[in-house]
Amino acid sequence: MCFVRTLIRITALACAVFLMLPAGDSAACTTIMVGKDASDCGSVLMSSSCDGNQMGYVHIMREQTYPDPERIPMQRNGGETGAYLPRTEATCRAFILGAGRSTEALGGMNEHGVSIGIEFIPMRPELDSTQGIVGPYSNHWTTSLIANGLMRAESAREAIAVIGAMVEEYGFLYTWGGNAGVALPIADPEEAWLMEIFGPEEGWTAESDSLGGVWCAQRVPDDGVGLSANRSRIGEVDLDNEDEFMASPNIHSLAERLDFWEEGEPFLWNEVYGDPGGRGNSMREWRVFSLAAPSLDLKDPVDPVPEAYPFSVTPDEPITMEQLFAMMRDGYEGTEYDVTEAEGFQADGEKSPLARPWGPPELFELVDVEPERAIATPTTNYLFTAQLRSWLPDPIGNVLWLAPGPAYSSGFAPIYAGANALPASWDGPADFDAINRGQVHWNYRLVSNLVTNLNYQEAIGDVREVIESAEEAFLARQADVDEEALRRLEDEGRESAEAWLTEYTRQCLENTAHGYDELVDYLMFQYLYDRPDIAPMAPPRIEAPDSILP
């Protein structure tokens, strides 16, 4: 058996280059935001995918103190910019999410539950500037808007204010340096917001007598479900309503100066500054809202009328964690856009085992079908769901559920805000010099690619059995975990509670990592080698830990 397991690992290495390159749109992400009155238990929920065809990871950015009057030099691309951050006495501890080899912050959650995602959005070319020094992420936290929002804010509104001030003072530059804006979904235990940022204008420099960008943020109603899918979602802006809108001082003046808008005309943010996007954007908007509120009977983008979906909808029923997980894994199942039901995937009146919603373009050319851009995609680096509960203390009430791989084959594992350490198998970037089966990143990616490139219909059933039972177990155990952590916090203090949450989180993550390691082997025995006789009798089970519970 040891020889066979070694053979499996060697085969995985040989297939790695092929398996790591699924087809798909690598410049698209999707975020769903749920207000506290729209969830089934009063949580603010935010689930976000980061799509870039790399492997995602998590690491802890420790809190830091900076004695007065020390200034913090701002760095980018390995050198100092000559600018300084405003005096910051201390930073928050944050779980930073990234992808690839770098340690750039693409999203995450801090100890107070402030959670931030990222969405590339197109903008008018006249707003493009190459002279800014702050962007959604960079190779140093001082010039990363996401890192600053996570490390310097204790609420979503404060994060928006911190990020907005940096854009105005230092100049916005999307990290890729192209004609792009960014949407930053930002949530805390009380509220969820969508912040959108565009560049200042062509020719802007730090010496210009104008702000370094333009931005606006809109609050998702407490009873609403909102989303972002790579195009501007904010429409009419009411700056007199400070409970629902925040914006830069130049929101109107810049539009007038660039002849985007004249005073007296309707001011629609997404039309004034944004780009209309395309079908790949509108299809995901339609799908999210149709899943949340099917009673609205929203017209899909096939309709010739331009797509104008609302900023948010009230769900027909309160959204559960399980429903939100399922939304992020959606591939248009049960709709006319479900490509697995295409005629070319039918054989003798039955669905072919090869039928799949994603895969190499050559396969879909053979069956004469073109998949629509779905919420789920094989190019996802990671996705996370922030579960933010205001009625519990921050270390207990805020949980980052992380899945470091494509949504359709990736299970969520809980990381409590009170955890102050992560197991080595999860912490930090993946090893790109060799397949490292000791890293959870590799096993998540191998599972997704094995499923996509093998007998999809049967393999995805096995994988879903594993991840859905694990999530069910974690959620079922949560009330006991919360109760014990709260008891320790009240009786023994924060240090004891955080030590206990750290151990519980560690066991959850290690159980998940071990389960995915076994799942790779199971899929290869069962499908790649076609030797179910020597495969395990059933896919592995990922259990919620109970050894440290009372």
User: In terms of pLDDT, which residue wins out, 533 or 260?
Assistant: 260
Per-residue exposure over 110-126, b if at least 16 CB sit within 10 Å of its own CB, e if not: bbbbbbbbbbbbbbbeb
Burial (CB count within 10 angstroms: exposed 0-12, middle 13-18, buried 19+), residue 493: exposed
Percentages of the chain per state (helix, strand, coil), in multiples of 5: 35, 20, 45
Mean pLDDT of the chain: 90
The whole-number pLDDT of residue 5 equals 42
Q: Is residue 389 part of a domain?
A: no
pLDDT in tens, 343-378: 999 988 899 988 999 888 898 999 999 999 999 999
Asked whether 184 and 116 are in contact (CB, 8 A), the reply is yes
- Provide long-range contacts, Cβ within 8 A and 24+ apart, for 484-488: 484/549, 484/550, 485/395, 485/396, 485/416, 485/418, 486/392, 486/393, 486/396
The whole-number pLDDT of residue 274 equals 93
Query: By residue range, what is the domain housing residue 138?
Result: 59-320
pLDDT in tens, 391-422: 999 999 999 999 999 999 999 999 999 999 99
Total domain count, the chain: 1
The whole-number pLDDT of residue 534 equals 77
In this structure, the chain runs to a length of: 550
pLDDT in tens, 74-103: 998 778 898 998 877 789 999 999 988 777
The whole-number pLDDT of residue 3 equals 33
The whole-number pLDDT of residue 305 equals 55
Q: Is residue 122 part of a domain?
A: yes
| 315 vs 359: CA distance, rounded Å | 32
pLDDT in tens, 39-52: 999 999 999 999 98
Is the pLDDT assigned to residue 171 strictly greater than 90? yes
Count of other CB atoms within 10 angstroms of residue 256:
12
Asked whether 535 and 523 are in contact (CB, 8 A), the reply is no
pLDDT in tens, 291-343: 999 999 998 887 655 567 999 999 999 999 999 999 999 999 999 999 999 99
Joined together, the tokens standing for residue 392 give: 């519990």
3-state secondary structure of 531: coil
What letter would DSSP give residue 320?
P
pLDDT in tens, 199-251: 998 889 989 999 999 999 999 999 999 999 999 999 999 999 999 999 999 99
The whole-number pLDDT of residue 10 equals 33
Q: Is residue 533 part of a domain?
A: no
Section 474-503 average pLDDT: 97
Query: What's this model's pTM, rounded to 2 decimal places?
Result: 0.93
Count of other CB atoms within 10 angstroms of residue 478:
16
The whole-number pLDDT of residue 9 equals 41
